[in-house]
């Protein structure tokens, strides 16, 4: 029997766990470069990719037990040396993976943006795509496993990779592409909040049945390095047995530890008394602020943490800028700035975007996690009775206490705090445990697709000057459709244009659980949001000519991997065409 490998492909840290039929889930140490020419195991693999020149770091110093000299490094050394070489460092690749404003297969990282002064420093350096950066983290995890288990190679095991619950089909498909590039031919995707809950189930055994009762609603509050992810899981009574169902998933909110690092670096820069930092030094400061944040929010936090920023040019050492950030500063900024006290009816603030903006990460406009949380709970109308924390940011006791305080105030009653695994390792552990659950070794959370998905159908009507034809949204995959399911949609009179490149418009909704497969609704109805369109050339085969309109019926399929496929089936049975999310953005 194959073993089960659980992979948490995190924004800031990635982790690896294993389980088997008679082997409970446990995490594995990950061999990596931790210093020049120094190899060691660490509990996690920091999700950082360093792409130095030979003069900055010799390839021989990056050699791993399973490789020769390398021109890049991932993990601990990449993170630490990258703070001194920020123009060679790729971070937050997972956030870039879901950035719809760029071509995510293009070599855009390390990101330069509008900082033209970085051109000279970055000249000649390697750049990679968000997909390739993610693939390198996954390839390292696969190689580390293979090195430690030569008789059980990873590609012969059952592999589960986690993604944010709020990842849209494009980002999910890109994760699969990255996994294949890394050598994983077959994987299954699992949502991170569900993985965290599976880790809780694994840690508590049957005790969870005494801790939770029918009618309980558990909030999984997952704030990691790049994203904030909320999910609600409801406990139900089915014939005397407890059942679990994921009933709500929040929006994709690009808000997490990265935002806090930027905020802390701004506080530090303000204290430099007129000293100006160039673009490289500003990037180095952000990485220094990240390390300071991790220390200042830890259980045994020091009163302050020193920060040093190297000088430039001939004043490399003598021009070093030194300052410090205190625990009081960090707590005031991070607790009150990112987790302020707000009312239950609060909604996240939104501001009008500038007409021109840098093609960087689309961070949330409102940095207050608690405002996003209040809006999420209000939207779904289910007040939690318990909370399970996940994500590196939520390791800070003061941040957890603030969330619990607000939940209890909003609910008007006690809200239980569920204990789980180490917040850095829970997702990987939960993924491995879920693999065992799929083999019948535990209770499964019902959930399926986190949203309902729709395709735009253009009405056939005479042209009217100044008005586009009305657009309807056809539900092709209802919310909660389980993996491996296929839905044959009603035989509407639909036609597919062949032999020409056409644009297909897709929509999604997280709050329309009553829309069944085949439901036809107005595309501008409340709760429906438009996703990236897909441009596809549907080949004209056989006797069909370009521009022909082929009568078709639709089939939707949610794969075991967790991605959505939509098929157009010719009514005469002659052809089938798959409409899938392209891994490339439109030109």
pLDDT at 197: 96
* Position 29 in a domain: yes
CATH code, domain with 393: 3.30.420.40
- Tell me: do 65 and 128 sit in the same domain: yes
Task: Specify the pLDDT at position 120.
Answer: 65
pLDDT exceeds 50 at position 47: yes
The domain that contains 311 carries what CATH number?
3.90.640.10
CA 152 – CA 140 distance, rounded (Å): 16
For residues 73 and 76, what is the distance between their CA atoms, to the nearest angstrom? 9
- Residue 104 banded pLDDT, cuts 50, 70, 90: confident
Q: Rounded CA gap, 429 and 550, in Å?
A: 49
Print burial letters for 212-248: b (CB count within 10 Å at least 16), e (below 16). beeebbbbbbbbbbbbbbbbbbbbeeeeeeeebbbbb
Phi, psi torsion values for 379, nearest 5 degrees = -65, -40
Rounded CA separation 384/368 (Å) = 19
356 within some domain: no
Higher pLDDT, 432 or 120: 432
Q: What stretches of 505-570 adopt beta strand conformation (E)?
A: 506-509, 520-522, 528-530, 534-537, 549-558, 564-570
Burial string for 457-491 (b: 16+ CB within 10 Å, else e) reads beeeeeeeeeeeeeeebbbbbbbbbebebebebee
Distant-in-sequence, close-in-space partners of 69: CB < 8 Å, separation ≥ 6: 58, 59, 60, 62, 63
Bigger pLDDT: 59 vs 538: 59
pTM of the complete model:
0.85
Judge whether residue 208 has pLDDT over 70: yes
288 with 248, same domain: the answer is no
Asked if residue 73 has pLDDT above 90, the reply is yes
Tell me the average pLDDT across 380-386.
95
Mean pLDDT of 396-413: 95
Least confident of 109-118, 503-512, 525-534: 109-118
Residue 463 has pLDDT above 60, yes or no: no
Residue 437, phi then psi, degrees to nearest 5: -60, -40
| 249 in the same domain as 132 | no
Percent of the chain past pLDDT 90, that is, above it, reads: 49
How far separated are the first and last CA of the chain, in Å rounded? 46
pLDDT tens profile 512-529:
888 999 999 999 898 898
The pLDDT, as a whole number, for residue 354 is: 55
Is 37 within 8 Å of 61 (Cβ atoms)? yes
Q: Please, what is the Cα angle at 292 between 275 and 196, to 5 degrees? A: 140
Q: Does the pLDDT value for residue 152 go beyond 70?
A: yes
Tokens (6 digits) for 422: 């180490």
Whether residue 249 sits in one domain with residue 275: no
DSSP 562: S
Please state, rounded to an integer, the average pLDDT across all residues of the chain: 87
> Any bridge partners for residue 253, and if so which?
228
Instruction: Indicate if the pLDDT at residue 453 is higher than 50.
Output: yes
Q: Which residue has the higher pLDDT, 82 or 168?
A: 82
Take residue 169 and report the two structure tokens written for it: 């089909």
- Across the range 360-388, mean pLDDT stands at 93
Element at 377 (helix H, strand E)? helix 369-380
Averaged pLDDT, 164-187: 90
Mean pLDDT computed over 434-444: 92
Q: Which residue has the higher pLDDT, 532 or 263?
A: 263
The pLDDT, as a whole number, for residue 426 is 96
Q: What is the pLDDT of residue 48?
A: 96
The answer to whether 443 and 437 have CB atoms below 8 angstroms apart is: yes
Q: Confirm whether 534 is domain-assigned.
A: yes
Q: Are 481 and 530 within one domain?
A: yes
Split at pLDDT 50, 70, 90, the class of 462 is: low
Phi-psi region at 542: left, alpha or beta (left = phi > 0; alpha = psi -120 to 50): left
Looking at residues 451-477, what average pLDDT do you find?
78
Residue position matching structure tokens 């253009």: 458
> How many residues belong to the chain?
587
- Structure confidence by residue, pLDDT tens digits, 536-562: 888 888 788 888 989 988 888 887 666
Distance, CA of 495 to CA of 66 (rounded, Å): 54
- Is there a contact between 281 and 389 (Cβ–Cβ < 8 Å)? no
Range of weakest confidence among 129-143, 209-223, 546-560: 546-560
Q: Which tokens sit at 312?
A: 């430039």
pLDDT band for 587, please (50, 70, 90 cuts).
very low
Average pLDDT score over residue span 182-195: 93
Q: Which of 146, 384, 77, 92 is nearest to 254 (CA)?
A: 92
* Torsion from C-alpha of 258, 247, 160, 206, nearest 10 degrees: 110
Asked whether residue 423 is domain-assigned, the answer is yes
- CB contact at 8 A, 313 and 278: no
pLDDT mean over 256-267: 90
Q: Which residues pair with 322 in a beta bridge?
A: 308
Specify whether 88 is located in the same domain as 176.
Answer: yes
Say whether both 159 and 62 belong to one domain: yes
Number of domains observed in the structure of the chain: 4
> Does residue 233 sit in the same domain as residue 269?
no
Q: Give the domain extent around 239.
A: 195-253+342-351+365-446
Q: Indicate whether 492 belongs to any domain.
A: yes
Quick check: is 527 in a domain?
yes
User: DSSP letters of 27-51?
Assistant: E--EEEEEETTEEEEESSEE--EE-
Residue 161 near residue 134, CB atoms below 8 Å = no
pLDDT at 193: 93
Looking at residues 316-338, what average pLDDT do you find? 81
Measured in degrees and rounded to the nearest 5, phi and psi for residue 188 equal -120, 135
| pLDDT of the residue at 316 | 46
Q: What is the rounded CA–CA span in Å between residue 578 and residue 370?
A: 41
1's CB contacts (< 8 A; 6+ apart) are 20, 21
More confident residue, 263 or 562: 263
Q: What is the pLDDT of residue 312?
A: 62
- Reported confidence tier of residue 182, pLDDT bands at 50, 70, 90: very high
Kindly state the average pLDDT of the residues 530-538. 81
Q: Which of 189, 204, 219 is the last residue of a domain?
A: 189
Does 586 score more than 50 pLDDT? no
Q: Which of 163-177, 268-282, 350-364 has the least mean pLDDT?
A: 350-364
Highest mean pLDDT among 152-161, 257-266, 315-324, 510-519: 152-161
Residues 165 and 37 in one domain: yes
Q: Which residues contact 210 (CB under 8 A, 6 or more apart)?
A: none
Q: What is the pLDDT of residue 319?
A: 66
Q: Is residue 270 part of a domain?
A: yes
What φ, ψ does residue 155 adopt, rounded to 5°?
-70, -5
Q: Is residue 111 part of a domain?
A: yes
Q: Average pLDDT, stretch 24-52?
A: 97
DSSP state of 269: H
For residues 221 and 304, state if they share a domain: no
Domain termination site, one of 189, 207, 242:
189
Residue 115 pLDDT class (50, 70, 90 cuts): low
**Cβ-contact 46, 78 below 8 angstroms:** yes
- CA dist 13 and 507 (Å) reads 32
Residue with the bigger pLDDT between 47 and 579: it is 47
SS3 290: helix
Residue 379's CB is within 10 A of a number of other CB atoms, namely 15
Alpha-carbon distance of 126 to 20, in angstroms, equals 40
**Residues 442 and 474 reside in one and the same domain:** no
Nearest to 94 by CA among 32, 30, 7, 156: 7
Strand blocks (E) in 498-548: 501-504, 506-509, 520-522, 528-530, 534-537
Q: Residue 208: enclosing H or E segment and its boundaries?
A: helix 208-211
Cα(221)–Cα(403) distance, rounded to whole angstroms? 9
How does residue 402 score in pLDDT terms, banded at 50, 70 and 90? very high
- Indicate whether 35 pLDDT > 80: yes
Examine the domain organization and report whether 160 and 83 are in the same domain. Answer: yes
- Which of 189, 211, 228 finishes a domain? 189
């Amino acid at each position: 029997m194959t073993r089960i490998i659980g992979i948490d492909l995190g924004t800031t840290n990635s982790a690896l766990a294993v389980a088997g039929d008679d082997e409970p889930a446990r995490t594995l140490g990950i061999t990596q470069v931790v210093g020049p020419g120094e190899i060691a195991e660490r509990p996690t693999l920091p999700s950082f990719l360093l792409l130095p020149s030979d003069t900055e770091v010799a390839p021989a110093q990056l050699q791993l037990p399973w490789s020769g000299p390398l021109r890049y490094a991932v993990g601990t050394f990449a993170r630490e040396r990258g703070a001194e070489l920020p123009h060679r460092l790729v971070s937050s690749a997972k956030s870039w993976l879901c950035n719809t404003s760029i071509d995510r297969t293009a070599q855009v990282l390390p990101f330069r943006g509008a900082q033209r002064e970085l051109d000279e420093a970055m000249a000649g350096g390697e750049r990679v795509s968000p997909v390739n950066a993610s693939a390198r983290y996954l390839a390292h995890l696969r190689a580390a496993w293979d090195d430690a288990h030569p008789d059980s190679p990873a590609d012969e095991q059952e592999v589960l990779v986690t993604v944010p619950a709020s990842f849209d089909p494009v980002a999910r498909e890109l994760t699969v592409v990255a996994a294949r590039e890394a050598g994983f031919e077959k994987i299954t995707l699992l949502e991170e909040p569900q993985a965290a809950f599976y880790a809780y189930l694994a840690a508590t055994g049957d005790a969870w049945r005494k801790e939770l009762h029918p009618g309980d609603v558990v909030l999984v509050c997952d704030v990691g390095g790049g994203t904030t992810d909320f999910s609600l899981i409801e406990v139900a009574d089915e014939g005397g047995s407890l059942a679990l169902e994921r009933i709500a998933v929040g929006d994709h909110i690009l808000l997490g530890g990265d935002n806090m690092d930027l905020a802390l670096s701004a506080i530090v820069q303000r204290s430099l008394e007129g000293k100006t930092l160039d673009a490289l030094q500003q990037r180095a400061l952000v990485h220094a602020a990240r390390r300071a944040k991790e220390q200042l929010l830890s259980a045994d936090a020091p009163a302050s943490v020193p920060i040093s920023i190297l000088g430039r040019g001939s004043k490399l050492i003598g021009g070093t800028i030194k300052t410090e950030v205190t625990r009081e500063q960090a707590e005031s900024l991070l607790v009150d700035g990112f987790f302020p006290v707000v009312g239950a009816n609060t909604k996240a603030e939104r501001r009008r975007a500038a007409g021109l903006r840098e093609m960087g990460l689309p961070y949330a406009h409102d940095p207050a996690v608690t405002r996003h949380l209040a809006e999420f709970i209000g939207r779904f109308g289910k007040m939690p009775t318990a909370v399970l924390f996940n994500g590196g940011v939520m390791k800070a006791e003061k941040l957890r206490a603030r969330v619990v305080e607000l939940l209890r105030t909003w609910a008007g009653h006690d809200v239980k705090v569920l204990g789980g695994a180490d917040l850095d390792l829970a997702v990987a552990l939960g993924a491995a445990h879920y693999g065992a659950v799929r083999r019948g070794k535990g209770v499964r959370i019902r959930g399926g697709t986190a949203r309902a998905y729709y395709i735009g159908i253009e009405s056939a009507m005479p042209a009217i000057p100044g008005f586009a034809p009305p657009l309807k949204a056809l539900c092709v995959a209802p919310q909660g459709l389980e993996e491996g399911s296929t839905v044959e949609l009603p035989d509407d009179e639909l036609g597919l244009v062949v032999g020409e490149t056409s644009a297909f418009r897709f929509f999604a909704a997280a709050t329309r659980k009553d829309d069944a497969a085949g439901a036809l609704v107005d595309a501008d109805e409340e709760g429906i949001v438009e996703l990236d369109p897909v441009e596809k050339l549907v080949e004209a085969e056989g006797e069909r000519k370009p521009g022909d309109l082929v009568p078709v019926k639709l089939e939707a399929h949610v794969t075991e991997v967790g991605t959505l496929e939509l098929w157009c089936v010719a009514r005469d049975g002659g052809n089938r065409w798959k409409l899938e999310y392209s891994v490339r953005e439109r030109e």
